[in-house]
Amino acid sequence: MRLILASTSPRRRKILALLGIPFDVIPPEFDERISSHRSIEDEVLDFAVGKAESVARHHTNSIVIGSDTMIFHESEKIGKPMDRADAARMLRLLSGKTHRIHTSVAILDNMGGPGLRMVERVSVNMLPYTEGEIERYLACNESLDKAGAYSIQGQGRNLIAAIQGDYLAAVGMPLRPVAEYLKNRRVAFDCDVDKIYNDKTFLNWGNFL
């Protein structure tokens, strides 16, 4: 049974690798275009499905995992910044406020399983920060491929006061539902997922206890 992660994200690759099972990584051919009229739940899930479908159609006899992350704040859906100026705009918008991360998972199972479609929500409280702090953070060059223009697992942790919810979902992909699905499909792995969530040693997880 071949397992494929349809992603270009190194964070999602690291999260799935925590299970200790072999998988392939194939970049999806999918254009993410945020709309103004659809709910964030529908859109972020459709993006995950679109990514998985773009890979699954070329790779039969496989289980394909797609995922997407989007931020919702003051009625605005926020994805990845277009450029440095857009990243600065996003960071100003989030400063000192609370926003919600929506991370979706879509599993397309061409091996006879039911598949999975779900959205995990995480609340993030940002510290108030200055224009100078924004500029110093942008100089770290970790903003442009992150929803909301900050990296929880990188230097962006210094901009965050607290996180409520699944840290792995905030980083890029919730592991529990993926592990449960694969276990139900009799994909063998020795990893104790509860231990991962209890120990909280992955990347900067321990900084948010």
Return the active site residues.
68
**Do 6 and 52 touch, CB atoms closer than 8 A?**
yes
Residue type, 24: D
DSSP for residue 149:
G
In angstroms, the CA 27 to CA 55 distance is 8
Report which of 70, 96, 64, 116 is spatially closest to residue 162, judged by C-alpha positions: 96
Query: Cα separation of 160 and 128, whole Å?
Result: 9
> Could you give the C-alpha distances from 89 to 32, 81, 145, in angstroms and in order?
20, 9, 15
Cα(200)–Cα(206) distance, rounded to whole angstroms? Answer: 6
Residue 69 neighbours by CB under 8 Å, 6+ apart: 44, 101, 102, 103, 104, 147, 172
- Give the ranges where 18-119 is alpha helix by DSSP (H): 40-56, 84-94
